[in-house]
Structure 1
Amino acid sequence: MAPTTSASGTALDRDQVVRWRAAWAEVMGGFVPGLATLEEIVCRAAETVRGRMPSRVLDLGGGPGVLAERMANRWPGAAVTVMDIDPVLLALTRGAVPDLVRSLDGDLSSPAWATRAGEGYDVVTAVMTLHYLAPPQARAFYDDARRVLSPGGLLVVADLMPDDGVASVMNALDPADGEAAAELAWAQWWSDVAEAASLRPLFAERAAMFQARPPAGFTASASWHVTAARAAGFAEAGLLWRCGRHAALAAVA
C-alpha cells in the first residue's frame, strides 16, 4: 500500500499502521479477557435500546480507532467519531480509517471535551478509559456524557470495577496471572511504534503532554459507577457485562 498522510500531517506507511493496530487489539485483549464478547454485547445493547441501528456514535479514549472502526463497519449508515488525547494514537486512526471514522482530540479530565464533541449521540462508549481520571473527574464525566447523548441514548463504560455484588448479564473469571504478560506486551507495543521516524514529533508532543499528568490509576466498584451515573441524571444504570475484575456499566439517558 502507498504511504498515507494523517490529518496531523504525519506521513505513515499504511501497511505498518494496519500491523500496529492489529497488535494493539491483541494487547488490549490481554488486558481485558473476553473483550470480543464485550464488544458484541455493547453492539447488541446499542441496537436494542432504541429498536434501531444507531446513527451517531462516539468512542471516548478510543486510541487508534479499532473499536470505532468495528462499529462503523457494523453500522454503515452511522457517523462514528473517536476522541482521544494521545496524538500518536489519533495519528494511527487518521492514517488507517480517515474516511470511515471521524477523529477528534479531547481531554476527558475537562468538561470542554463535551463541547468539542457536540450533542445528539445515540451511543457513547468509554472502554478502559476512566481509570486515567481522578475520582472527581470521573464523577464529572457522567454529567458530561449525559449532556452529549440524545434522550434515550446509551452510555457504556467498561473498566476495572471490582465485584461488589452488583448483578450483571455475563459473569466469568479472568486469570490474574495474565496481567504481567499484558503489561509486557503493552510496553513492547509502545517501544515498537516509537521506532518509527515519522512518529517522533508526535512522541515528543505526547511526552510533553503526559509529563505533568500521570495516570490516576482510578479504580472504583461497580456500585460507585452506578451511583455516579444515576446522580448525573441517567434514567437507568446497571451492569451490562462482567469478566473477573473488569465490568461494563450501561446507562440510558
Structure 2
Amino acid sequence: MPQLPAVAPALDRTAVDQWRRSWDGMMAGFLPGVASFEATLPVVAEALAGGEPRRVLDLGGGPGVFAERMAAHWPAADVGMMDLDPVLLALARAGAGGRVRVHSGDLESPWSGAVVADGPYDLVTIVMTMHYLAPERARAVYRAARSVLRPGGLLVVADLMPDSGLVAFADRLAAPGEASAGLAWIRWWEELRCQESLRPLLDERQAIFADRVPAEFAPPVPWHRAAARQAGFGRSGVVWRCGAHAALAAIA
C-alpha cells in the first residue's frame, strides 16, 4: 500500500521566514553570482519571449524563494513552482503560498500532469536542479518542459555547465564558497530536525530519498543544447555565466 503523505503542520511564520532566508543564503554558495543571474533573467525572458511572462513555472523550486521573487518582479504573472521534497514544499506553502502556486511533483517520473492545468507557460526555469538527474532523465525533463510551454515560450536552465573548451579544468573552477555551502547545507537540515512540528515531514522526506543518489551529472553546454534541440526547442544559447556555472535559454 503506498505511503500517504504527512499532514502539513501548522508552522510558525517567523520561523518559516528565517528558514527560507537561511536557505537562500546557503544556495548562493552553490550558484556563484546568483544575484547577477537573477538580474539577467528578467531581461532575457522579456527580450526572448516577447514581453513580460504571464505564466511562469520554477521546477525544483525548493522552499519557493526564487519563485516568490519572480512573482514580485512580475506582479501580473501567475507564478508556480514544483518540488518533490515535502519539507521544502511545506515551507513554500507557508511562506509563499499566497503569491505562488505550489505543486508537488517528481522530475524523475512523468511530472507534467501536475502542472499542465495552469499552463501553457511563457517561462519555465530550472535552477541548480538538473545535475541531480541522470542523462536520460535530464533529456526527459527537456521534453516535458517543451510540452508545457507555449510556442515561443522560454526555458532557462541554470546549473554547473562548464564551457566545452574547459571541461578538463571544471574542478579548478569550483565556486569559492562551495565547500562552506556544503557545510551550511548539513547544518540547515540538522536544525530542522530539531523542530518537532516538522518531524512527520522529515520522516516522509527520508522515505522518499532513501534510495535516491544524486547523479551529479554536469555536462558542458553542447550537451544541453543538443538535448533542447532533440526535445523540440528551436534556438538556444548561453545567456549568463559565472565560472563553471551557466544559464542556457531555449526557445520553444
How far apart are the structure 1 equivalents of 2:165 and 2:148?
30
Q: Could you give the per-residue CA deviations for residues 121-177 of structure 1, whole angstroms, max 9, x where no partner exists? A: 0000000011111111001111111000001000000111112149xxxxxx96644
SS in 2 for 1:12: coil
Q: Could you give the per-residue CA deviations for residues 89-130 of structure 1, whole angstroms, max 9, x where no partner exists? A: 00000011211001000001112x112210310000000011
Q: 1:50 to 1:139 in 2, by over 3 A?
A: closer
How far apart are the structure 2 equivalents of 1:180 and 1:165?
25
How far apart are the structure 2 equivalents of 1:248 and 1:233?
19
SS in 1 for 2:232: coil
More off after superposition, 118-127 vs 47-56: 47-56
Q: Which residue matches 1:157?
A: 157
Q: Which residue matches 2:131?
A: 131
Q: How many residues align?
A: 240
Partners of 1:239 and 1:249 within 8 A in 2: yes
Paired residues for 1:32-51 under 5 Å? 32-51=31-50
Paired residues for 1:98-117 under 5 Å? 98-111=97-110, 113-117=111-115
Partners of 2:65 and 2:96 within 8 A in 1: no
Q: Which runs of 5+ in 1 are unaligned?
A: 1-6, 167-172
Partners of 1:129 and 1:159 within 8 A in 2: yes
Partners of 2:49 and 2:154 within 8 A in 1: no
Q: Could you give the per-residue CA deviations for residues 205-237 of structure 1, whole angstroms, max 9, x where no partner exists? A: 000000111211111111100111011110111
Q: Which residue matches 1:17?
A: 16
How far apart are the structure 2 equivalents of 1:120 and 1:178?
37
Partners of 1:161 and 1:247 within 8 A in 2: yes
Question: Where does structure 1 differ by over 3 angstroms across 4 or more consecutive aligned residues?
Answer: 173-177
SS in 1 for 2:200: helix
Q: Which residue matches 2:248?
A: 249
Q: CA shift at 1:51, angstroms?
A: 3.0
TM-score, L = length of structure 2: 0.91
Partners of 2:174 and 2:244 within 8 A in 1: no
1:50 maps to a residue whose letter is A
TM-score, L = length of structure 1: 0.91
SS in 1 for 2:177: helix
SS in 2 for 1:37: helix
Q: 1:10 to 1:183 in 2, by over 3 A?
A: same
Partners of 1:237 and 1:250 within 8 A in 2: yes
Partners of 2:30 and 2:175 within 8 A in 1: no
Partners of 2:58 and 2:81 within 8 A in 1: yes
Q: Could you give the per-residue CA deviations for residues 29-68 of structure 1, whole angstroms, max 9, x where no partner exists? A: 1111100110111111112223321110000000000110
Q: Which runs of 5+ in 2 are unaligned?
A: 1-5, 167-171
Q: Which residue matches 2:216?
A: 217
Aligned Cα root-mean-square deviation (Å):
1.7
How far apart are the structure 2 equivalents of 1:177 and 1:102?
34
SS in 1 for 2:215: coil
Partners of 1:61 and 1:126 within 8 A in 2: yes
Q: Could you give the per-residue CA deviations for residues 186-219 of structure 1, whole angstroms, max 9, x where no partner exists? A: 1111111221111110000000000111211111
Q: Which residue matches 1:204?
A: 203
Q: Which residue matches 1:121?
A: 121
Q: CA shift at 1:8, angstroms?
A: 4.9
Q: Which residue matches 1:91?
A: 90
How far apart are the structure 2 equivalents of 1:141 and 1:221?
17
Q: CA shift at 1:178, angstroms?
A: 2.4
